[in-house]
Structure 1
Amino acid sequence: MTKTPISRFPVPEIADLPEDLRERFLAVQEKAGFVPNVFLTLSHRPDECRAFFAYHDALMEKKEGLTKAEREMIVVATSNANQCQYCVVAHGAILRVRAKDPLIADQVAVNYRKADITARQKAMLDFAMKVCDRAYEVGEEDIATLTGHGFSEEDIWDIGAITAFFGMSNRLANLTSMKPNPEFYSMGR
């Protein structure tokens, strides 16, 4: 069986990367047991790779506001809408781990409206999907709905920013034909 490349663009060897990226990738490999293909694929352009992960970390590693599982729910639901196999699989795995629920990622990816989530989380994903598909329609009533579910102004910004950032990520993953690591499929199950 022929191994499918992880990207349609050249992927540098970890040993050939700038030191800061090499150290980051090896630290991820030490923690996870593998280097996610998104790191390897985006390392094709080191400056953009650094910027991508800086913004990713600023959005996804916050301690306050949305939970880490809620942040991943946004990624999984909107990545499905954008038909991004890589992000649905990879962030689905992270969602299962962060939510400590082996079923949640599949439910959210297929149809979050029928998933075993709270009304608050459903409102969050309704808003994320509106930003994903029809951001030009976002209005004060959307903000009021979220505020009514207890979301702060900062939470609302995060929902929109995560959706927008992963819209870009989904498009890059599709452009590069990025393949999910096999390890993601069994994580958190």
Structure 2
Amino acid sequence: MTAQISRFPIPPIESLPEDIRSRLLAVQEKSGFIPNVFLALAGRPDEFRAFFAYHDALMEKDSGLTKAEREMIVVATSSANQCHYCVIAHGAILRIRAKNPLIADQIAVNYRKADITPRQRAMLDFAMKVSTAAHLISEADFAEIADHGFSDDDVWDIAAVSAFFALSNRMANVTAMRPNDEFYLMGRLPK
């Protein structure tokens, strides 16, 4: 018996618009499987395109945050939002990008006790406040994070990643999106 990817129907890949079908097949070629988030969103082509355009703009660009640090934000805030899919999927990506098989589990359970730098802890403190209490963000929060060397652009990126994944977490929870089994083992053992 194969578990359901989502509580909503998954369209057949061959029925999708060419740009979406091509993206799914390119991801499959690169990783060996299609992450379920792609399949779950594919049935809503305009939303799929908008979601992944913003995702890529936030997660793939060069900035003052490393790609691993952006994944730390996703894992910490997704854990706070109890998003099973994002903790598992982005935990795998974090392990690979950080080249550390322990870091994702540490951050998912309690980032305050994880083996991270004081700068990364300040980053996650700010991201968590954006995720759970953005209405309480004050000048003191901006001063605190600036003391750790983050630029205004970095602070924007921290907030944007946290906010974007709040949307993603909520949709993953509502759709009962299931993480691909492949994610559980990725980055845990040396190749």
- TM class by shorter-chain length? over 0.9
Read off the aligned partner of 1:123 and give its amino acid letter.
A
Unpaired runs of 5+ in structure 1? none
- Aligned match of 1:87: 86
Instruction: Give me the TM-score of the superposition, normalised by structure 1.
Output: 0.98
Aligned residues: 188
> d(CA) in 1 for partners of 2:148 and 2:117?
10
- Aligned match of 2:23: 24
- Aligned match of 1:177: 176
- Aligned match of 2:99: 100
Q: Give the 3-state SS of the residue equivalent to 1:66 in structure 2.
A: coil
- Aligned match of 2:109: 110
RMSD of aligned alpha carbons: 0.5
Instruction: Report if the CA contact (8 A) 1:93-1:187 is conserved.
Output: yes
Instruction: Report if the CA contact (8 A) 1:73-1:95 is conserved.
Output: yes
- Aligned match of 2:14: 15
Instruction: Report if the CA contact (8 A) 1:9-1:44 is conserved.
Output: no
Deviations 1:70-125 (A, max 9, x none): 00000000000000000000000000000000000000000000000000000000
Read off the aligned partner of 2:144 and give its amino acid letter.
T
- Aligned match of 1:53: 52
Q: Percent same amino acid among aligned pairs?
A: 71
After the TM superposition, which residues 65-144 of structure 1 pair with which residues of structure 2 at under 5 Å, given as runs? 65-144=64-143
Instruction: Report if the CA contact (8 A) 2:127-2:162 is conserved.
Output: yes
Instruction: Give me the TM-score of the superposition, normalised by structure 2.
Output: 0.97
Unpaired runs of 5+ in structure 2? none
Instruction: Report if the CA contact (8 A) 2:63-2:154 is conserved.
Output: no
Quick check: 1:33 aligned with 2:32? yes
Q: Give the 3-state SS of the residue equivalent to 2:115 in structure 1.
A: coil
